[in-house]
Amino acid sequence: MSRALILATILSLTANIAWAHDPIFGMGPHVLFKQGVETSIEIDSKKSTEKQEFIPALQLTYGITGSWSAGIEIPYAFKQRYTENSQGFGDINIFTKYRFWRKDSLGLQQSAAILLKIKTDSGDINEFPALGTGTTDGILGLAYGYEGRTWYRWASLRYRHNGTNRAGLQRGNKILLDLVAGVRTNLTSYTEADTVWLLELNGEFSEATNLNGYDLANTGGQQWFLSPGIFWTKRNFAIKAGVQIPITENLNGDQNQDDYRAKLVFEWHP
């Protein structure tokens, strides 16, 4: 094997590791390699005046091809509202992502992908607070990523359509917009630990909740969050952590805004 081919192989391997990144709260275009398996534990938490949630979830992802991945997410929820507490399995999610465009150059990869995610009606709705929503919901998303050795940029747009429960209640559909920047301040080799610092701007635009054809007051509106975070990797293990800080809101009527949202993710693949 020639020196040039050896060098190209090493660069390709280290670049693929460096590019295996996605935002914390937004959506990225990253997919697994063919027949790759990724196991992750994702912990979501949020707090507002009325309620608090802590939801760890097991996520399994499989690379069907080098551009197409699919997986399942199984959450276990701990919820508190006022003085009431409940815990148990929440709504299971199934998802698939297809990367339809990719452009590689030296030390840089640009790509775009589409996502389909289905939240099943599988959580317990008889608890208070309810562990599930009682609906089947769908999310369709589009993501772009610019991933270099030093700088990262992502943008994504998602639309969430919420189903109607047995009582005729439909939570408002949502549009989610995410703009993300990342920087690697210290260039490292494959064998060394690697850190990327992230800053996200997350926007949520919600329609009013509908009950039997009538929009409900004090529902719907828009919120924006500024979200600092970190992505730390070492070989095939990664940790992502971030917090969403509300910076502006325009909610309809009298609604409680989240005090914060936070996420911690542990990822591993062989």
> Over the stretch 79-132, which tens digit does the pLDDT of each residue have?
999 999 999 999 999 999 999 999 999 989 999 999 999 999 999 999 999 999
> Over the stretch 184-217, which tens digit does the pLDDT of each residue have?
999 888 789 999 999 999 999 999 999 999 999 9
> Over the stretch 10-63, which tens digit does the pLDDT of each residue have?
344 344 444 458 999 999 999 999 999 999 999 999 999 889 999 999 999 999
> Over the stretch 226-258, which tens digit does the pLDDT of each residue have?
999 999 999 899 999 999 999 999 999 988 888
How far is it, in rounded angstroms, from Cα 178 to Cα 11? 30
Report CA torsion sign: 148, 191, 41, 228: negative
Give me the mean pLDDT over the 128-150 stretch: 97
Please tell me the predicted confidence (pLDDT) of residue 20: 55
Please tell me the predicted confidence (pLDDT) of residue 270: 80
CB-hemisphere CA count at 13 Å for 234? 4
Q: Where are the beta strands (DSSP E) in the chain?
A: 37-47, 51-65, 68-81, 84-89, 93-105, 108-119, 137-148, 151-161, 169-170, 174-183, 194-206, 210-211, 214-215, 221-234, 237-251, 260-268
Give me the mean pLDDT over the 156-182 stretch: 97
Per-residue pLDDT at 5 exceeds 60: no
Please tell me the predicted confidence (pLDDT) of residue 11: 41
How far is it, in rounded angstroms, from Cα 251 to Cα 260? 16
Beta bridge partners of 170: 164, 210
Whole-structure pTM value: 0.91
- Written as six digits, the tokens of 267 are 């990822």
Per-residue pLDDT at 261 exceeds 80: yes
Please tell me the predicted confidence (pLDDT) of residue 17: 41
How far is it, in rounded angstroms, from Cα 113 to Cα 100? 6
What is the SS3 assignment for 229?
strand
- Written as six digits, the tokens of 146 are 């610019």
Q: Which residues contact 1 (CB under 8 A, 6 or more apart)?
A: none
Per-residue pLDDT at 148 exceeds 80: yes
Instruction: Kindly give the pairing relationship between strand 169-170 and strand 68-81.
Output: unpaired
Structural domains in the chain plus CATH codes: 3-268 (2.40.160.40)
Please tell me the predicted confidence (pLDDT) of residue 257: 82
Beta bridge partners of 145: 111, 154
Do residues 146 and 155 touch, judged by C-beta distance below 8 A?
no
